Every structure is written in structure tokens, then in C-alpha cells.
Amino acid sequence: MAVTINDIARVAKVDKAAVSLTLRDHPEANRLRPETRERIRKAASDLGYRRNLIAWSTRTGIVNSLAVIGRFGREGALSYTNMMLFGILTTCTRYGYNIRVYPDNSLEFSLGEIAGGRIFHVISLSVDPEIRRKTALFCRAEGINLLYLFEGACEGFPSLNTDNFAAAREVVQSLTALGHRRIGLLCVPHNYLYVKERHEGYLAGLRDAGLKPDPALIDCSDSAETAVERMLSLPENRRPTAIFGIGDTLAVEAERTALRMGLKVPDDLSIFGFGNSDYSRAAFVPLSTVEESPHDCGVLGVNVLLGKPVDISPREDGRYLIPPILIRRESVAPLKNSAKKSNSRSRIKNNDERKPS
């Protein structure tokens, strides 16, 4: 015989309304004491209760599904996106939500499926400005909740991601605290917001140390190897003692080029990346980097979208920004012959210590 909420209420010694609110994660359930909610969930688990989501959806007209729109072709199957989707999936499962994934390169079809499926919660991983705008206009017209996990807020809908500006600024602060004054920047063309913010954060970090940017030490092309060769071929009193790559791939290229040119990392050149990707750990000299927190973005994104409590507040521009964490590995060291002591205000994790999941 199927377990009912009446059975759970009897075992948990509460009324059935409390059981219903708790098992549906209804906001009103927060009025109950935490130990009461836990007792209800334990009773449901012990009794083997399973919600009949199909019957509930038919009765209420509400579908407990969350849609994710993004670019999921083979060329985009990156570990970053996979970790973000994993965070979304596990959090949706916790709240009793299904997840449906739709491609943004067939946007009209995807949006039609979302509307037809009566889905009222959407997370967008799209970075194309026009796709983001069309998604926002559609969701507003259909009364759908929308959150972006890349770039910034759009058309009044919020976004959530790592604080790229603060992260880049803290990277430079950590390098200047180690005595470095000639810090190169490996950037890319400024086609996306995160690129601009990391570049601007680098400049802010230099200003904090009273340093002026040297155009010879800044490159925003798609030719990282050429840029590093050029920087490291400068006279010794002008070449960089440290390089910040706004992505781990750029930092790995800087390391590879420096080693090929006969320089030692970090003795002759400190290198800092961004992303904490697998290859940052697997580099010949493991890279110092920034934890970009894709799993946390997925988890927090679902919580924000469903109105659950989160530890960060939106800015005036509608953006939720995750504070950065710097991870120190062997690719960074104090500048030789520098007596300057480290007084970095950054949150730094040494020896690849990771946040608990």
C-alpha cells in the first residue's frame, strides 16, 4: 500500500499540512522549526514515501521542472559547463525538480517547448547578446523566472557568477605583495563582459600598488605564444617578473613558452592563471589560479531562481557575484632579492586546498 502524508504525519507527530509544506519545500515550511522539518523528512524516508509528481502536476497545473538553455555541442563540452550542470542537477533533485536541457542555437523551438511544457523556471548559459535578449523578452511575456549564469544581468533579469573584477584585482595584489612590479597581462579580444572585467581588475590592482600599466606588458590578442615571446625578449630591466593570464590556457601557454626560452618558473617568472581547470593542476609547474566555482554557480543559481536563502545579495545592477578565492601553487614565488613581505588581503588557499562541496 502506498505511503500517504497522513502516515507521515502520524509517525512525525505533526499535522498533515506541515508534512505537505515540508515535502514540497514550500516557503511557508520555514515557519516550522528546523528539527520539525527534519523529523518529517526522516519519517517520509523511513516509510519509503515517494511523491506522485505526475498526479500533483495534473491537479495543480504546475510542473516541477527547471529548464537550462545553452550551447551544448561537442565543441562546448567543457568541464566547466559539466560542473555547473552537475550543481544545477543535484540542487534540483534536492528540491524535487526535474531538469530539462535545451539548445540555444534552436532558440525558437526551445522556448516553444518550455512554454508548452508549462515550465516557469529557466537558467540561461547563453553568452550571445541577441540570444540572451530574446530569451529575456520571451520569459517576461510568459511570466517565467529567468537567471543568467554567464555575463551580466539582462533586460531586468539577474545573473550570477564569479566576481571577475575582484578576482583579477586580488591576483595583482598578491603578486605585488610578493615584490613584483613588472606584471604582464595575457588577455584576449574584449568580446565578452568577463574579459573586460578581468582586464579592468588587473589595471585596478596596479593602481592599488601605485604602478602605471606598461603597454609593452599587456596583450589582448589571440596569439598568446607570440605575446609571451615578445614580453620575455625585452631587456632584463623591462621584461615582466610575473604574468597574469585571464584564463588557465593562457597561463599554461606562458609557462610553456618561458620554459622553452630557458627561463625557470617561478624563479625567473611567476605565473598566475584563472579558472582552476584540470590542466592548471597538471601543468609542468602547477599553476596558481583563481577558483571559478562552476559547481557553486549551479547550486546558487537554482537557489536564487527558486527563492531559497543564499549568502550573497544582488547588486543594484541585478548581479549576484561570488567572492573569488585564489589558489597558490608552485608557479608563483616572491621576487628574487625582494625584502617586501606579503600583506595580501586576498583569500588564498595553499597547496591546492579546495572548498568543501
Of 276, 272, 273, 185, the closest CA to residue 231 belongs to 185
For the segment 101-111, the average pLDDT, to the nearest whole number, is 91
Of 129, 211, 118, 132, the closest CA to residue 173 belongs to 211
Q: Which of 24-28, 46-50, 233-237 has the lowest mean pLDDT?
A: 24-28
Of 251, 299, 302, the closest CA to residue 273 belongs to 251
pLDDT at position 350, please? 53
Contact 289, 77 (CB under 8 A): no
211-236 pLDDT per residue, tens: 999 999 999 998 999 999 999 999 99
Give the class (CATH, top level) of 5-51.
mainly alpha
Rg (CA), the chain: 24
As annotated, the residues of the chain forming the CATH 1.10.260 domain(s) are 5-51
* Cβ atoms within 10 Å of 172's Cβ, excluding its own: 26
pLDDT at position 74, please? 58
Distance CA 289, CA 281 (A): 9
- The CATH architecture to which 164-292+323-350 belongs is 3-Layer(aba) Sandwich (3.40)
Per the prediction, the chain carries an average pLDDT of: 88
pTM: 0.77
CATH of domain 60-157: 3.40.50.2300
According to DSSP, the residues that pair with 350 across neighbouring strands are: 328
As annotated, the residues of the chain forming the CATH 3.40.50.2300 domain(s) are 60-157, 164-292+323-350
Q: Judge whether residue 348 has pLDDT over 90.
A: no
Element counts in the chain: helices (H) and strands (E): 13, 13
Distance CA 24, CA 58 (A): 15
Q: Judge whether residue 353 has pLDDT over 70.
A: no
